[in-house]
Amino acid sequence: MLITMNQPTQVRLQDVAREAGVSTATVSHALNGKGRIPESTRARIRDIAERMGYRPNAAARSLASGRTGLIALAFSLPAALPVPLTDVDYFSRAIRAATSRALERGYALVIGPPTPETTVWSRIPFDGVVVFDPVANDPTVAEFRQRRVPMVLSGRDPGGGNDFCVDNDHLAGTRLVLDHLEACGAQRIALLAGDTQDAYSRDCVQAYQHWCGEHDREPMTTMVPLGRMRRRDEADRVLAQSNPPDAVYATDEVLAVALLDAARARELNVPRDVMIVAAADRQPEPPAQTPSLTTLEMNAVTTAERSIDVLVDVIEAKPPANRMLLIPAELVLGESTAMSEALR
């Protein structure tokens, strides 16, 4: 025997208008706070709509207002990550911070898959997007520009552009690290950088090369492809040079850990034989590491929150006067550059 159940009928705008004895336009204006309607009429219509259980259609409201109340996060990567996106601590912290700030500003948030395939975005209605760490010639960024989607970049586009952007000051941060290592007595400072094809890597290399030129030092640059950054043998290339460095700035904490492993394998003491500084995300409780790393701390939380704030302001036609917002990094000293009395 087939048993059927009556499904509740959704109350329509027309039903409320019929019950209130007014036009659908009057009901729409009353519920959306628009139009020149007496407050008594507006209140009566709202009471009727609430009593009847009327719920506005989200799609219809977005068509009427031109907004969906939804913003997106996109991730620009030069190659597939060896681990899920949320397993990368920087991205995980950025996603949590962006989600919280979007909700505070009254927006829902959707996270796009880390892929250069642009068709996925044509299926998602949203008011604007934050793109993290755009790489050179990213088709997703080009697609958003072509569609004139409100967009904020978390990290500069290495190809240029006049987009709104929130970024850490990598040029100043790199110089801060190199000045510190020089003050610690380093003479041969090497750069170990991830070949990520984004503005971050380019800024670090540029600042390093300029600093070496100003200080009459020979540049010692080693670039590691994204998928091989955890490999000790890649980091070991820095230490295997005929005239090895006495200090290394690693532009990613993963690279710095690989470098520590390579130094141990060569029975080198850190910091006596080689000093190490790592660029790393700011964390409430840094992971235990022996020796503790001196770090140039970026702040994924602040960067993500500021990016959402700028995007919401752009969507709501209140864009900031300055299209570039730079967030300074902070040098936090650890044992990897400060020799103990026993080692002096």
The one-digit pLDDT tens for each residue of the chain (344 residues) are 343 434 445 778 888 899 999 988 888 878 766 677 888 888 898 899 888 887 765 445 554 556 788 999 998 766 555 556 666 777 888 899 999 999 999 999 998 877 666 677 777 888 999 999 888 888 888 888 988 899 999 988 888 888 999 999 999 999 999 999 999 999 999 999 988 778 888 999 999 999 999 999 999 999 988 777 778 888 899 999 889 999 999 998 889 999 999 999 999 999 999 999 999 876 655 556 678 899 999 888 899 999 999 999 999 999 999 999 999 889 999 999 975 433 33
pLDDT, position 341? 36
The 3-state DSSP class for residue 178 equals: helix
pLDDT, position 306? 96
Q: How far apart are CA 317 and CA 333, in angstroms?
A: 42
Neighbours of 253 (CB within 10 A): 22
How do 108-111 and 70-75 pair as beta strands?
Answer: parallel
Domain span(s) for CATH 3.40.50.2300 in the chain: 70-168+301-327, 170-298+330-343
Domain span(s) for CATH 1.10.260.40 in the chain: 1-48
pLDDT, position 344? 39
pLDDT, position 116? 66
**Cβ(286)–Cβ(253) below 8 Å:** no
Of 302, 326, 310, residue with least CA distance to 96: 302
Helix, strand, coil percentages (3-state) for the chain, rounded to 5, are: 40, 20, 40
What does the block give as tokens for 133?
């760490």
pLDDT, position 186? 95
Q: How far apart are CA 30 and CA 24, in angstroms?
A: 10
Q: How far apart are CA 135 and CA 145, in angstroms?
A: 15
> What is the CATH code of the structural domain delimited by 70-168+301-327?
3.40.50.2300
Q: Looking at the structure, give the CATH architecture of the domain made up of residues 170-298+330-343.
A: 3-Layer(aba) Sandwich (3.40)
**Cβ(125)–Cβ(70) below 8 Å:** yes
Q: Looking at the structure, give the CATH architecture of the domain made up of residues 1-48.
A: Orthogonal Bundle (1.10)
Of 296, 308, 301, residue with least CA distance to 250: 296
Look-up of token digits 């009254």 = 106
